[in-house]
Structure 1
Amino acid sequence: MKKRIMVCLLGLMMVFGLVGCGDEEVAPQESQEIVAIINGTEISAPLFRTYLWSAQQFFEMLSGPTVWEIDIEGQSAKDLAKERALESAILGVVAEQKAKEFNIVVSDQEKETIKAQALDFEAKSPGVLQEHEFTVADIEELLLLADLSTKVQAKMGENYMPSEADIQKFIDENKKFYETVTSRHILIKTTDDNNQPLPENIIAEKKALAEELLQRVKDGEEIGVLAAEYSEDPGSVMNNGEYTFGRGQMVPEFEQASFEGTPGEVWPELVETDFGYHIIETIKYTPADEQQMRDLFIADAKAAFSNSEIATLIENAQVEKTPLYNEIQIIYTPAEVVEEEIIVQ
């Protein structure tokens, strides 16, 4: 459920290409057919169709326009999209109710901004509103509620703080992934342009050259100068063989020699990888910034806590679907028509 909450909210924002501004309340709906009643709040058919259209676009963005012909998570994509649309509507209602409780207020200027954004969407996509039977007012309300959910979740996480033990555990277990090293290397390749091994006699010649270059570096020649002349690594040759990287970004043998080497010194032996032979000099080791790690963990923990709180509100929401809920369906182009259009183009 937590993941679905974020998908619903992300889908709303991405599909409309807008970042709305929240308000403590929305304009009352005119008398319309009702699709669902959530915690006593009626969800009109046009508003639900707005949620459904945004969910539809998000599904198609992820899986293409033929997604409606397949099953996802054991059910039809069409039914799943309707569920996501309803979850988004529930999220909007509980967020609006919590916003009132938290006295979350926005300015008149912010209200005008969201109205202008909704009008801009109408101007750019007038056919969408007509075909899917919703209005600019419905777009405004949807975006307002989506933004309210963001504000409410931020508010919920304000006073939460993970334990010092959990913070330190995260730092201790992940510190190595936040450290970086800068090193230079000379690569003498033992593979061809298709990454296939060269003949054994050529590999022997390559190794002899690599050993000669390693000795020249040990004798005092600059590895960067030799890299510019001899290295066969196109990714670093223009930078005198230099890379700055973290754990897991290079092949293991290269990473080990770079991180375990002494800054300012060359690794005493050739380092062999699937690419060939490397002469490696460690330049600088940068330890993990533990304060940065602490801040990141706290921010993530606050977000997880507020998501969990919102998920509980959604799960406990009183939801009554009307018969109209089952009648509303996604409007889409069948797969065979899409394929015909592609062939014609």
Structure 2
Amino acid sequence: MTKIMNIASNYVDESLEGLCLAHPSLCFVGDERRVIARSQAKDRGKVGIASGGGYGHLPLFCGYVGTGLLDACAVGNVFEGPTVGSALDSIETSDGGAGTLCLIGNYGGDRMNFEMAAAMAGDNDIRTRTVLGTDDVASAGEDEADNRRGVAGLLFAYKCAGAAAEAGEDLETVTRIAQKAVDRTRTIGFALAPCLPPGRDTTAFTVEPGTVDFGMGIHGEPGLWHRPFTSADDLAMEMIDRLMAERVSGMSSKVAILVNSLGASPYEELFILYRGARRLLNERGYEESLTMVGPYVTSMEMAGASISLCFVDEELETLLAAPAGCPFWRTS
């Protein structure tokens, strides 16, 4: 597969440079030039929100740096976690004196490096808290939910925590809200074709023509079960059934829904999938408080999609609707 690049070793750095040139609201921070932050002056007294992860998922992670969302984001190589130094830079850049929430996906390298960076930030009198995205229902059973990966549903936590921080809430409140968004969000995805990271000769897994690979990871992890492709409506039913099986008793009948392209699947196909998912939700008595359809969390040119549901309450619904602005998502 031919990629639009110069040399593979410069792929991330040149792409990030282009991102910042195209969007002046973003800038580099730190000697490694692997932290993207807001260009505007830091808001003193506001809780900061830092994130980070491997490259190759735009708009996730660094594409959501902006007002009402992230303050800074550390960027690793393609599908690799950021360094401790970059994680520390993102925490320090985000801090406005009220502490920083580290909101990251539940991946070993990301978690370890942010833990070390948070300890170093503490030595510099920066208070931190950490919330891990764990929305991927296919990556672990319900009794091991803390071991699940963070995938597209992390976006709901970004938005809710970012809105709370922008409203002036303190670190403990912002942390509570982020954790609530994580606890109320479930995601499942499927692949129709894998991606090929730059500089590699083979894909991490294969998908036979005419089949669906369920439960794959956004870093190229292979799926957990496979079946022949039948129809978009059948996919929607299988996904909604799986997500609804974990609805916690007492949750409201309002949901925010994200139908997400993993990179190559176009809007036309996403809307067909969304049509089926919406019909199923309506038949089961659910009302949509927010609808998002598009490539919000990708895995390079992987073909496929994911569906995320956040079972919102009044607090989360208000925060999801609050104003926010970044290069890839804007609400007003």
TM-score where L is the length of structure 2: 0.20
Higher relative contact order (CA 8 A, sep 6+): 1
TM-score where L is the length of structure 1: 0.19
Structure 1 or 2: more helix by fraction: 1
Structure 1 or 2: more strand by fraction: 2
